[in-house]
A and B are shown apart, each in its own frame.
Chain A
């Protein structure tokens, strides 16, 4: 079946370095993608989204890149801070327009080394 997945379950980076979290998707009908951050014991928190008519979108210290050719999504976090430690999920809208929620990947655990 079609699914959203992540390349690496755990990513360890030095504080101050840039982090890149990757996500592969297989549903070519998806036209909307979101990155969520989930801290331990909390619900997912929206970080940034991107539509399929865009290649790049920037927020505060975060950038999302979308490569539709290879069905790849990435989240870049600049100057990683201890507060960035969390599990990061990518999600897609699956059938492309339905209200039946999002399809989530398994998540990447970002660990910040002091």
Chain B
């Protein structure tokens, strides 16, 4: 199993551009999550999903959108990138609610 994979690894965006961060898991997990991690900080939950077709907001959802059309994929969309969205983004999945498996992260810079 590859576990949780994320693409791209790095990206630089200009203010106002849009992009989609991809996340795929091959463990048939129902739960999937998107977090952001700012320098020297813990992770903050952006969005989560408890199964295909179901998504919900986390602690910091503003400026982001998600979809969950399949069990495997949980893409995160940034429509109008802002400097405040410069961060490292982690996708995670879990079968139970709590033991989450994380991807390697996407480092995003918005200038």
Per the CB 8 Å criterion, the residue count for chain A at the interface is 24
Which of the segments A57-65, A66-74, A94-102 contacts the partner chain?
A94-102
- Of all chain A residues, which has the CB nearest B43? A104
Which label, helix, strand, loop or mixed, suits the secondary structure of the A interface?
A: loop
* Residues A43 and B103 in contact in the complex (CB < 8 Å), given A100-B56, A101-B45, A106-B42: yes
Tell me the number of A-to-B contacts counted with CB atoms below 8 Å.
Answer: 62
CB distance from B77 to the nearest CB of A (A): 19
* Cα separation A93 to B45 with both chains bound (whole Å): 12
Interface 1/0s, chain B 39-57, versus A by CB < 8 A?
A: 0111111001010000010
A100 x B100 contact (CB < 8 A): no
Interface 1/0s, chain A 28-64, versus B by CB < 8 A?
A: 0000101000000111111001000000000000000
* Cα separation A80 to B41 with both chains bound (whole Å): 24
Interface 1/0s, chain B 72-108, versus A by CB < 8 A?
A: 0000000000000000001010000111111111000
Task: Kindly list chain A residues whose C-beta atoms are within 8 Å of the C-beta of B33.
Answer: 101
* Residues A44 and B43 in contact in the complex (CB < 8 Å), given A101-B35, A101-B58: yes
Task: Kindly list chain B residues whose C-beta atoms are within 8 Å of the C-beta of A41.
Answer: 104-105
Task: Kindly list chain A residues whose C-beta atoms are within 8 Å of the C-beta of B35.
Answer: 101
- Of all chain B residues, which has the CB nearest A104? B42
A106 x B105 contact (CB < 8 A): no
Interface 1/0s, chain A 79-104, versus B by CB < 8 A?
A: 00000000001010100011111101
- Of all chain A residues, which has the CB nearest B42? A104
CB distance from B54 to the nearest CB of A (A): 10
CB distance from A93 to the nearest CB of B (A): 6
Pick the 3 closest A-B CB pairs, nearest first.
A43-B102, A104-B42, A101-B45
A-B contact pairs, 16 of them (CB 8 A): A9-B40, A32-B98, A34-B99, A43-B92, A44-B43, A45-B102, A89-B43, A98-B97, A99-B31, A99-B50, A99-B97, A101-B48, A102-B98, A102-B100, A106-B40, A107-B40
